Amino acid sequence: MTLRDLLWQGIHAVPVEFWARVTWLGDSGLLLPAAVLIGIWLLVSRRTWPTALLWFTLFGSASLLVLVSKLAFLGWGVGSARLNFTGISGHSMMASSIWPVALWLLCARAGHRWHVGMAVAGWVLAWTIGVSRLALYAHSASEVAAGLLLGTAVSAIFLATQRHYPHAHPRAPMVLVSLLMPLALFPPGHAAPTQGLLEQIAQHLARIDRPFTRADLHSTAGSGPASVSLSATSQGHSRGFGCQSAVKGAALPIMRSPFNLQTEHS
């Protein structure tokens, strides 16, 4: 038994309900507003405007990469069957870019050790969210790894450059309240309809009847989305192979585990 198999068994031993709760902490309904609120806190003082510009540039660029990768696959089937790659994991990217910075901002009035400790805690949380995407069969290992590396680069670059910029000093309770505000729109367990929106956009841009799916990527026919039965793929593709499909066992029917790069059809 390989180390990869042992890791997968360990992930699978944890109740799926736990992973479903963890994965919600990377949902766009929670984190996209949090990203904007981080920028707003940095814009409060004129002294930290350059810091806000840096944040919006880094996070905006990473978000654009995720968006392009997803639309490229959904609309035109651009992906890698060998790596089982259909686009960068948005949950993983957002979690690893936003949580370290959000927790760092939460203790902005504390000392350097607190700053480092909270940032590390944010990365640990983010990588746990990445693991949850594997546990729920929402993404393959390559997609999660791409998201975590991209998001970690964003937060690491942002935090590493703070020694050269004036720091914002908001009060922790005010930051916490503002970061929790998105809960009014998307309470725990309710995912934002991001995947469905991206599918509609991709269909419109590519002028196709339905978006490409992971089954299309591994199809031996390889002639586009029309070559694979919609009824055979719609369950796994719905909401990006999300939590509901994973719980029912319908997600990723051609992947024995997210770590497998070779599939039954390859």
Q: For 110-120, what is each residue's pLDDT tens digit?
A: 888 999 999 99
DSSP letters, 77-123, are ---BTTTTBSS--HHHHHHHHHHHHHHHHHTTTS-HHHHHHHHHHHH
Of 57, 77, 53, which Cα lies nearest the Cα of 65? Answer: 57
- Return mean pLDDT, the chain: 83
Instruction: Give Cα 41 to chain centroid, integer Å.
Output: 23
Residue 235 has pLDDT above 50, yes or no: no
Q: Who wins on pLDDT, 45 or 99? A: 99
Q: Who wins on pLDDT, 125 or 240? A: 125
Which residues does 227 contact at the CB level (< 8 Å), separation at least 6?
216, 219, 221
Instruction: Count other C-beta atoms under 10 Å from residue 151's C-beta.
Output: 33
Tell me the CB-side half-sphere exposure of residue 225, using CA atoms within 13 A.
Answer: 23
The pLDDT value recorded for residue 224 is 52
Calculate mean pLDDT across residues 107-129.
93
33-53: pLDDT as tens digits: 999 999 999 998 899 999 999
199-231: pLDDT as tens digits: 999 999 999 999 999 999 988 444 555 443 333
Integer CA distances (angstroms), 136 to 102, 106, 195, 236, 241, in order: 25, 30, 16, 11, 8
Q: Confirm if 92 and 126 have CB atoms less than 8 A apart.
A: yes
Q: HEC profile for 115-181?
A: HHHHHHHHHHHHHHHHHHHHHCCCCCHHHHHHHHHHHHHHHHHHHHHHHHCCCCCCCHHHHHHHHHH
Calculate mean pLDDT across residues 156-182.
83
Give the pTM: 0.81
Q: What DSSP element (H or E) covers 20?
A: helix 16-24
The pLDDT value recorded for residue 59 is 98
Query: Number of helices (H) and strands (E), helices first, in the chain?
Result: 12, 0
Calculate mean pLDDT across residues 149-161.
97
- Tokens at residue 203, please? 């269909």
CA distance 242 to 238: 7
